[in-house]
A and B are shown apart, each in its own frame.
Chain A
Amino acid sequence: MDEIDLQIIEKLATDARISFRKIAEELKISPDTVINRYQKLQETGVIRGSTVVINPKKVGYHCMTAFLIDASSLHILGNEANPVDSSLILGKLISMPNIILATKTVGDHDLLAIGVARDFQHLMLMTHKIARIPGVKDIQVSFWVEKSSLCPKYFIV
């Protein structure tokens, strides 16, 4: 990655729909160069995709929630007959409606998911649904209603 790549990334991070021609003009390079660079950045996994940033409140979601999940030890270690691990829980989480991010973690908990809930009742339903995933032992919920700061380049939270 060089300075040109970084500038292309910067422009797309601010507006993913900017035309390649406009980027080319602003950086004083040819549109083909921009296209080639963009494709290469995608191929090498630097750019993982693009998305629209929605204001959850405007579409009826009033609680953003972090679910901190503990898996039961059997599901982390697995056993010969039943080789299960937290990847199964991770897969289930990310296919749940309104879960927008999920990851395995090291530290206080085993997995973390971030989701959007309409209201407290909806939050309860989501928590219960996660609790029913096989291997989930405990869930700690931390939720917020007002977003303070975000850097959308890495995650959409």
Chain B
Amino acid sequence: MSRQYLIRRLLIAIPSLLGISVVLFCVLALAPGDPFGELVTNPAIPPEVAAALRAKFGLDDPVWTRYVHWLMAMLQGDWGFSFVSRMNVDKLILQRLPTTLVVIGAAQLLAIVVALPVGVLAATRPYSVFDQVANTLAFIGFSLPTFFTGLLLILVFSIKLDWLPFVFRDDINATGLQWLWEQVKQSIMPVTVLGLFQGASLVRFVRSAVLDVVRLDYVTTARSKGIGEGKVVVKHVVRTALIPVVTLVALQMPIVFGGAIVTEQIFRIPGIGSLLISSILANDTPVVMGVTFVFACLVVLFNLIADVLYAWLDPRIAFR
């Protein structure tokens, strides 16, 4: 792996991140609304106070000055200051990032654990009943949006059966096993919703990747040597077939983050997705910029990881 290649890719990422930030900032500046709207409708607050606050936070400056200010501060590691919470944006994001990562990580794990065996099994027995059922379920799975399946699960497991809580709490006052049990109970629904949505599309990718490989000559050769069917599939087929799947998982990460925004809102999970939604509603520009910038960085990063992984797994691909 050449170091030059990596450096070049990272350098290319800089203008794209800059471009993303310009577009984001402009869209937010052009969007209607005002973080201090609520002050204006309140008769107890004199208009001068709202005006002073606007001036203090630089809301009356032209868009480009505000952007340059933001960029300069960002370059120095200052993520800005939330209008609504009056605290630093990086602190707000860091406070919520772990929860998002845990939920998304668990969901992705679930997706892989379900999708791999199902996809491989379906591909080794193409057009069998199992394959048909798996295909149909996968199709339904990725056609249903997460907000729908989320509400459906709440309706069944929280309201009808009363088995699981539907409000996610970060501060569970319990320790040890009790804490773990509560944590698992409240995570089941959000993780299932996200994980199955991811898993559904993954099943179809795994199946087609395995299907491509399973008919190749070297597999037939392996079989003819008398190696058991299980060994053929695991050692020879899956190993080759998974190369594109690994990159795909990496490339899909940004989509998972997108799905998490909706899921976090439904289950009240204190992650960066719900932070993004509430900040958009409150017109809290610095926080919206911060969170979307984190997402943008993740997209760029995972793209890079996908490329590097692909080349590493498949030596035929050369870095250029």
**Do A and B originate from a single complex?**
no
